[in-house]
Each structure stands twice: as structure tokens, then as C-alpha cells.
Amino acid sequence: MPETLLRADDLTVRYGPVTALNGISLHVDEGEVVALVGANGAGKSTLLKTLSGLIRPAGGSITFQGKDLARTAAHDIVKSGLVHVPEGRHVFPRFTLKENLLAGAFTNDFKSAGKRAEEIIAGTPILARRAGSTAGQLSGGEQQMLVIQRALMADPRMIMLDEPSMGLSPVLADEVLELVAQLSERGMTVLLVEQNALGALDIADRVYALATGEVLFEGRSDDLRANPQFADQFLGVV
């Protein structure tokens, strides 16, 4: 049996009078790709921010490798091996690609990080051909690749990606999902929020479908595809 890396139980999050998460429970096992799908406002981003320590839950518990996260500082959560790539491709626009990557290595030894950053750029064709650019000069797809690679500079055990294909052309969106699939093949554990639910299901082992802060469906990707009610609601297909 694979080890459960991340577990959240009965999480509740409120923004003033708005209940954004209403008793959410989920788990992610070592080596899995788990997709989180749901309409705008369902609570997906709030869930990732809560798991990474940016928002404190009003109730419930979170553990990562058995350690309590609900009261752990966000930078210590990164150090423990859980890294969050937020929505919106936040690069440092005036910095080079290498400098952007180094910003992700704040938990590590900087000497080896420089070499590692150069290897990542050389080994990622979409970045290698822009190696002399600043991050602000990159296209949206290139920036997305950069922020995912920056997250990997922290040597995480698990990565959480919020809408990595948002706003990209279908070809670039496929490239981003392909990168996620490659990370998984190399053993990375992934929690993936995607507006492109069908694309996410293609690479996910399991899926949680959220609506108004609650989990409505939990199961294998194939089971969501085969469920007439939820496939219609969450995938737009019957």
C-alpha cells in the first residue's frame, strides 16, 4: 500500500460571512496525481492555499507525512516538502530565467542550486531557447513552465498546481499537462487544480469534484467519466 502523504479532514474555511470550504476531507497518496475539479468559486484555490499555509482553517486538520500542518508556517511547509504553484504565473519579470529558478531554492544550498538551474534550463527545450531572456519577455506557456520548474528547485515531495493551463492555447495547455505527466512518471506526487477537467482526468489517478465548498464526488478518474450525473456537471459531457 502506498503511503498517504497528505491528508485533510473536515476542513472549514471562512472569508468573513462566506463559507468557502465546508467540511472538506481528502487524501493524496505517494506517487499519485489527484485532480481537483469544479466550477469557479467551488473552493479549489482556497483549498490549495489552506493546504500550503497561506490561509488558516477555522476547523479541521491537515497532516503531511504525518506532521500537523494546520499550525505550520508557509515557509516551513515548503521546507517539509509540500510546494504550491499558485494561479497566475507569478514570475519576477526583470530577472533572468536562472535568477527566477534560484528564487525557488531558498530552502536549499545555493551553490548546487546554480548548477541545477542551468541544467533545468538546458534540459527544458521551451526554456532553453529563451535562456537569454528575462522572465517578463516569455510567453504565458513559457512562464508556466518556469514557475513549475521554480517550484521543483525546492526538491519537493509533492507539488500542488493551481490552474497551470489557464489562458494558454490548447497546444501549450497540452504541453503543460505533459510536463505534469512526466513529473509523475519520475515519481512526483501531484495535486492538480484544472479548469480543463478532461485534460486533468487524462493524467490523474483520482479526482475530487467540488461544488460550493463541499466534495460531491470522489473516486477514480474513469468512474467520474462513467457517472452520467457528475460527468455532465463537472466535465460538460454525458
Q: Which residues here bind ligand ATP, judged by CB under 6 A?
A: 15, 18, 20, 38, 40-46
User: What are the angstrom distances between the C-alpha of 87 and each of 38, 45, 147?
Assistant: 15, 8, 10
**Concatenated DSSP letters of 166-201:** TT--HHHHHHHHHHHHHHHHTT-EEEEE-S-HHHHH
**Concatenated DSSP letters of 81-116:** TEEEE-TT----TTSBHHHHHHHTTTTS-HHHHHHH
User: What are the angstrom distances between the C-alpha of 135 and each of 145, 150, 178, 225?
Assistant: 11, 12, 22, 38
Instruction: Tell me the closest approach of the beta carbon of residue 3 to ligand ATP, in angstroms.
Output: 28
Instruction: Tell me the closest approach of the beta carbon of residue 30 to ligand ATP, in angstroms.
Output: 25
Instruction: Tell me the closest approach of the beta carbon of residue 143 to ligand ATP, in angstroms.
Output: 18
Q: Of 153 and 173, which CB lies nearer to ligand ATP in the complex structure?
A: 173
Q: Of 28 and 105, which CB lies nearer to ligand ATP in the complex structure?
A: 28
Q: Of 44 and 89, which CB lies nearer to ligand ATP in the complex structure?
A: 44
Phi, psi of 155 (to 5 degrees): 55, 50
Q: Of 65 and 233, which CB lies nearer to ligand ATP in the complex structure?
A: 233
Which of 149, 153, 118, 151 shows the shortest CA–CA distance to 132?
Answer: 118
Q: Of 46 and 143, which CB lies nearer to ligand ATP in the complex structure?
A: 46
Q: C-alpha cell of 211?
A: 461544488
Phi, psi of 209 (to 5 degrees): -110, 125
Instruction: Tell me the closest approach of the beta carbon of residue 212 to ligand ATP, in angstroms.
Output: 8
Q: Of 38 and 141, which CB lies nearer to ligand ATP in the complex structure?
A: 38
Task: Using DSSP, state whether 34 is helix, strand or coil.
Answer: strand
Q: How many residues does the chain have?
A: 238
Instruction: Tell me the closest approach of the beta carbon of residue 166 to ligand ATP, in angstroms.
Output: 8
Instruction: Tell me the closest approach of the beta carbon of residue 216 to ligand ATP, in angstroms.
Output: 13
